[in-house]
Structure 1
Amino acid sequence: MPPSTAPGNATAGCSQASTWEFDSDNHANVTMGDRSFLVHIPANYNPTTPHALVVSFHGFKGNDKKQEKITGLSEKGLTLNGKGLVAVYPNGQFGPGKNGNESIRAWQGAPYSPPGVDDIAFTQQMVQALSDNLCLDSNRFYASGKSNGGGFTNLLACTPATASLFAAFAPVSPALYAGANPADCNPGRPVPIINFHGLADKIIPFDGQDADREGRTEYATPNITQFREAWADRNGCASINASAAATDNLGFNAIQSDCSAQNNHAVINGFTVKGLGHSWPSTAGLDGGVTTFNATTANILPFFDMHSME
């Protein structure tokens, strides 16, 4: 590898060769002990130029490949900070499931999470491995996730060690059980958050729930507007302003709640999507619901682009 001329925010992978092997589609399946994650590098990946990193956590019963499909984060031509982005899709460990006798992948913070698994520590170790093997911009690490993975994304935002690791967070249709949305959430800094939730979500209702359909109170989740307001307060924002986007003949539209303080990093953007169920919004309906916008390209990546740890 030629000598690196990368700036100070460049990771160790900018000055040493990777031990990972990528296939013709620019994918590498990486194992780390008993954990695994799927890595996608852009076609124009430069091993001496720092690239942004987007980690995306799958939902309950999901996996790395499903998360890649529904988010579209590996699509050609996507950029952050003017360069192709590195997208990573970790796999959760197998937990007992909602019935207690299943074997289903899940993330920390849910009633069905695998007992004793520290996914926060795993995330830190995974990011370190990525930093050692790829040329990344350490000021531009981002976390996203759907459902159980969205709840875990929120937990990462609430945890000081990971709130200072990732520059911004995108929890989509998040399962905000108490373990993923702690009452003592204290990230230690203003945290940029962009959130999407459907008004027709019957799995994690927008208005919240005191228990699930079986009456289990451990499945209680908050009202999403109140969840956003809590982040606005945490970030020192005085208020949330709402604005409506146009509808189309499918009847879908989004209401954006925006909280922006003088400090550009103190932002909470929330999209309330009429007619959408428990899904990641996309025009192709990649996750079970068609919307008039692609959340990934129209909203999440532009939001990430505005925020770095600089």
Structure 2
Amino acid sequence: MFAFSLQTVAFLAALLSAANASPCTPKTTVTGCGKALPHGQSKGGVTSVNITSNGLGRNYLVFVPPTYNKDKPTQLILSYHGGTKTALQQLQLDDLTEPEFNTDSFVVYPQGINNSWQGVPGVTIDDVLFTNDLLDHVQTQYCIDAQRIMATGKSDGAGFNNVMACDAGLSKRVAAFAPVSGAYYVDTLPCDADNVVIPCNNARSDIPILAFHGGLDAVIYYPGGERKNACLPSVPHWIQSWATREGLDAKNHTVPYANATVIYEYSSATEKNLVNLVYDSVNGHDWPSTLPNADNENAGQFPTSFNATPMIMDFFSKHQLTKVL
């Protein structure tokens, strides 16, 4: 497992900070290829970075892959923490910095203001701007492959993945999304979870999505419903809406995957398995893992029969942007 000393964990946790942001216009991609790593950073290491977004301070953690070559464009994964959680806790949860799963991709862990994300009811922060500013900064510091910028996240962070995919700018900048236990709020009541219209302004009709959700999720219910004075669509309705949005067949193909787990795949004549939902009927509000983690060690929770992380890495490896901003 990827190990941190207690001093490193305390240092990173102390550096996590947050602030405001506002409306977004995606900016021109800038390359940092050929540059040495920033001072104090090393391959295989994690660093806390502060940037200015809209004149205010924001923060993220960045993992530099052990195999990084400053002259070779490298995949970047954005991983967003859940509500009330932190960037550091997401790093410790998702295993994307573990050598077993990843040795050649950057992983960036943005920190949300008040540990929350745009899209959650009552949150007025524009994290779309923050994400664009963060990507601009990262791409000036490292040799990033602009065609292979990916995003994942847990719960509210997964919900923000949906905000990004539905944003005209970021949907053209992020190649693929893998939300886990996502909270996909729609600002409307009363809540008809199986039919609610889900607003979306995606600028591409070929956005790859690999979503995960548990049938026993007691926080973000699989059938959806009212929460925080907003409407959570049922997860089947949410994933079907993406399939329709992307012109895929209305009927999914069900693939048995593991014990109590199936994958609902949506395809078309030209696009195979572009939109997918991994459904585990006995999983709760957890990041699926066969090993103990911060989610499944909670009372009433337990490891799953599969690991989400290698599935996400494999899914990302199959996709890239054909056009870059």
Per the TM superposition, whether the score is higher than 0.5 is yes
% same residue: 32
The 3 A distance-change label for structure 1 pair 18 and 246 is closer
Note if contact 2:169-2:203 (Cα within 8 Å) is conserved in structure 1.
no
- Partner Cα separation in structure 1 for residue 257 and residue 281 of structure 2: 11
Distance 1:160 1:24, change over 3 A: closer
Residue 244 (structure 2) pairs with residue 233 (structure 1): yes
Q: How does 1:140-219 map to 2 (within 5 A)?
A: 140-178=148-186, 183-189=198-204, 190-209=206-225, 211-212=226-227, 216-218=228-230
1:27 equivalenced with 2:38 (yes/no): no
How far has the Cα of 1:76 moved from its partner? 1.2
Structure 1 58/265 Cα, relative in aligned 2: closer, same or farther at 3 Å?
farther
Matched length? 275
Query: Hey, what's the Cα distance between the residues in 1 that align with 2:39 and 2:212?
Result: 34
Q: Which residue of 2 aligns with 1:255?
A: 262
Moved more, 183-192 or 43-52: 183-192
Partner of 1:125: 133
Counterpart of 2:74 in structure 1 is: 51
Corresponding residue of 2:317: 305
Q: Work out the CA distance in 2 between the residues paired with 1:14 and 1:139.
A: 14
Q: Where does residue 293 of structure 1 map in the other structure? A: 306
Change (3 A) 1:237 1:224: same
Could you report, residue by residue, the CA deviation over 1:70-99 in whole angstroms, capped at 9, with x for unpaired residues? 1100011545xxx700011010012xxxxx
RMSD between aligned residues: 2.1
Letter in 1 for 2:148: R
Note if contact 2:43-2:64 (Cα within 8 Å) is conserved in structure 1. Answer: no
Give, in angstroms, the shift of residue 237 of structure 1: 0.4
For residues 139 and 187 of structure 2, the distance between their equivalents in structure 1, rounded to whole angstroms, comes to: 28
Structure-1 separation of matches of 2:306 and 2:167: 31
Inter-partner Cα distance in structure 2 for 1:161 and 1:207: 30
1:88 aligns with 2:96: no
Determine the C-alpha separation between the residues in 1 that align with 2:140 and 2:286.
34
The answer for unaligned runs of 5 or more in structure 1 is 1-9, 95-104, 248-252
Q: Report if aligned partners of 1:167, 1:307 keep a CA contact under 8 Å in 2.
A: yes
CA-to-aligned-CA distance 1:179-203 (integer Å, 9 cap, x gap): 5997331312121100000000011
Conserved in 2, the CA contact under 8 Å of 1:168 and 1:192? Answer: yes
CA contact (8 A) 1:93 1:107 kept: yes
Aligned equivalents of 1:11, 1:265: Cα separation in 2? 32
Q: 2:65 aligns with which of 36, 39, 42?
A: 42
User: What is the aligned partner in structure 2 of residue 61 from structure 1?
Assistant: 84
1:265 Cα deviation (Å)? Answer: 7.5
**Preserved CA contact (<8 Å) 1:200 1:275:** yes
Contact conserved, 2:95 with 2:101, CA < 8 A, in 1? no
CA distance in 2, matches of 1:134, 1:227: 35
Whole-angstrom distance in 2 between the partners of 1:142 and 1:206? 25
**Retained in 2: the 8 A contact 1:243–1:257?**
yes
TM-score by length of 1: 0.83
Q: In the aligned structure 2, how far is the partner of 1:182 from the partner of 1:26?
A: 43
Any gaps of 5 or more consecutive residues in structure 2?
1-28, 189-195, 297-301
1:269 aligns with 2:257: no
Distance in 2 separating the partners of 1:266 and 1:160: 23
Identify if the C-alpha distance between structure 1 residues 24 and 230 changes in structure 2 by more than 3 Å, giving closer, same or farther: closer
CA distance in 2, matches of 1:46, 1:11: 17
